[in-house]
Structure 1
């Protein structure tokens, strides 16, 4: 799975060596001498890619750059590389979502393994995000009344209760329910609840 690897390291010889290794493995490579250079380039995450990031770089450190990228909503996975591994930094960066933490000098096998895992995870995040966008588009097709019915169904109300809550008949609720299932493109209540959960609809009213 080729992709674009962003290498951030202040050591020019290391950047050159890593770039050569990654290009041999079929990856596109962009190199940066500092965290600020990467931020200035503002790499998008619209194509497969990841960041190889040195922990100790002049100016903005690796973990600080990670915080900035997370805050900006970037989904580019980060693999940390360091010549001086310390447990506290490792734990902190992994907790903040880093893909891996490798110690220099790193073998090509370890490095390429970590990059491949990072790209697979990024693809999973992207496809999940894509599916949420599809769900939101389906949701936007519901009429206000269908939306109310959807909301009550996923909170566990039966047709009779929904009819009472909305001041309508069970028959009308059944018709709305059918429309909701069709527009949301689902075949079961379980699927509907799962979508509502993923869209964060079930957190809003405390259950």
Structure 2
């Protein structure tokens, strides 16, 4: 039976007007387990942008829109990207502009696959950290003001009685608030809750309903 809940492969979009480069990179990265999609121009990519976060391997010089121009357009899209530039025409000014626009890396052609894989690992690590931070922000936003107060007190190590005294509520009410917080964060124990809040560990997917 197919496991439909498996995590999808990490998505890499390759934008390069050289078909040999596109195809060879897609083949090599596909063998490494990445989900690769290829585009022959920046315009092609903008017509069919992915619907989930990805790393973009972007040629600097292409017919039509350049790689730098595409990078500047990414902020208008609703998906998070990390950009790794590939170019045989790199200079200090161009690299500086790419990094000012938050490029993850800038590699020279012909690219060394080991260096590209390292750049992709760093890129996906940054995407994962962003996803984690946003998930925690969304969960905190789902809390009521009182639940946030209780959560802050729990994070400080206060017990139910101490929290109740600090907030002017009964220990039983504190317990009710804590139970609701744990349900919203989809954790089963106080240890899980503290690990999530204090260490920022990746939360599990919230239950619907």
Q: TM-score, normalised by structure 1?
A: 0.66
Match of 2:96 in 1: 91
Change (3 A) 1:95 1:183: farther
> What is the alpha-carbon root mean square deviation over aligned residues?
3.5
Match of 1:45 in 2: 52
Match of 2:63 in 1: 58
Task: Please state if 1:118 is matched with 2:123.
Answer: yes
How far apart, in 1, do the equivalents of 2:35 and 2:77 lie?
A: 24
How far apart, in 1, do the equivalents of 2:35 and 2:78 lie?
A: 23
- Asked if 2 retains the 8 angstrom alpha-carbon contact of 1:63 and 1:93, the reply is yes
Give the CA deviation at 1:180. Answer: 8.7
Match of 2:34 in 1: 27
Greater relative CO, 1 or 2 (CA 8 Å, sep 6+): 1
How far apart, in 1, do the equivalents of 2:34 and 2:67 lie?
A: 22
Structure 1 spans left out of the alignment, 5+ residues: 155-169, 172-176, 195-207
- List structure 1 runs of 4+ shifted beyond 3 angstroms: 177-185
- Asked if 2 retains the 8 angstrom alpha-carbon contact of 1:4 and 1:50, the reply is yes
Q: TM-score, normalised by structure 2?
A: 0.66
Match of 1:163 in 2: none
Match of 2:80 in 1: 75
Structure 2 spans left out of the alignment, 5+ residues: 1-7, 153-167, 183-189, 198-209
How far apart, in 2, do the equivalents of 1:181 and 1:75 lie?
A: 33
